[in-house]
């Protein structure tokens, strides 16, 4: 099976529409939490990249690394709910996109503990943004359950996507290229700060 962009036109178009459309702000509770990670390309890229990178590293990393992100995301969300001052949140989020993209592009592996610690820091920044931007009068528990479950689902999408890509001829090259694109998107996002 050869890789052809024509085979992926419809999914790519759907993804493009999803990334460029604005999210409706009329949602509350768990629904708002579910949608929030999908409303920003920075969150979307980082969460999918974590799944892909953990798959690329293999072994226990495939579940420990994403779990570390989700757990520290909850901690960051609590800080955001309480409006605790956390400097550098946007920079941390953009750096997560750049560094995760580079890790995939360069096929960089680390000991699981170090990788989990690194994505844990990123998770705190992403969680803070979700908590800080929670709609007024929302149920914090339902909202948190929403953004945490969407995050976990995006990690699974990244991991399964990477597994499928790696089965293709030249799959490693394709995955590394996607990592490069992710990192470049992060650089672009950094210019928008």
State how far the Cα of 158 lies from the Cα of 65, in Å rounded to an integer: 12
* pLDDT in the model for residue 66: 98
Q: State the sign of the Cα–Cα–Cα–Cα dihedral 34, 187, 73, 90.
A: negative
Please indicate, yes or no, if residue 122 is contained in any of the structural domains: yes
Please indicate, yes or no, if residue 100 is contained in any of the structural domains: yes
The fraction of the chain above a pLDDT of 70, given in percent, is 81
Whether 19 has a pLDDT exceeding 80, the answer reads no
Please indicate, yes or no, if residue 83 is contained in any of the structural domains: yes
Please indicate, yes or no, if residue 158 is contained in any of the structural domains: yes
- Mean pLDDT, rounded, of the chain: 87
Q: Is the separation of the CB atoms in 19 and 126 below 8 Å?
A: no
The model's pTM = 0.82
Please indicate, yes or no, if residue 30 is contained in any of the structural domains: no
Q: pLDDT digits over 75-107, tens only?
A: 999 999 899 999 999 999 999 999 999 999 999
Q: Find all residues with CB under 8 Å of 43, minimum gap 6, and list them.
A: 36, 37, 93, 126, 129, 130
Q: pLDDT: is 18 or 100 the higher one? A: 100
Is residue 160 within a helix (H) or strand (E), and if so which, with residue range?
A: helix 140-166
Pick from 1-5, 102-106, 137-141, 170-174: least confident: 1-5
Full residue range of the structural domain in which residue 55 is found: 41-191
Give the total number of structural domains in the chain: 1
């Amino acid at each position: 099976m050869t890789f052809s962009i024509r085979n992926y036109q419809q999914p790519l178009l759907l993804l493009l529409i999803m990334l460029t459309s604005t999210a409706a702000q009329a949602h509350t509770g768990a629904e708002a939490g579910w949608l929030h990670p999908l409303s920003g390309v920075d969150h979307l890229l980082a969460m999918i990249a974590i799944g892909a990178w953990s798959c690329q590293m293999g072994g226990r990393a495939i579940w420990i690394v994403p779990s570390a992100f989700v757990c520290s995301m909850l901690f960051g969300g609590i800080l955001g709910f309480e409006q605790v001052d956390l400097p550098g949140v946007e920079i941390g989020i953009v750096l997560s996109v750049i560094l995760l993209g580079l890790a995939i592009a360069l096929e960089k592996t680390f000991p699981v503990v170090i990788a989990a610690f690194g994505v844990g820091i990123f998770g705190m920044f992403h969680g803070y943004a979700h908590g800080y931007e929670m709609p007024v009068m929302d149920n914090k528990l339902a909202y948190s359950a929403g953004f945490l479950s969407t995050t976990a689902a995006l990690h699974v999408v990244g991991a399964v996507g990477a597994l499928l890509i790696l089965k293709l001829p030249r799959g490693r090259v394709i995955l590394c290229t996607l990592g490069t694109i992710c990192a470049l998107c992060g650089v672009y996002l950094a210019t928008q700060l």
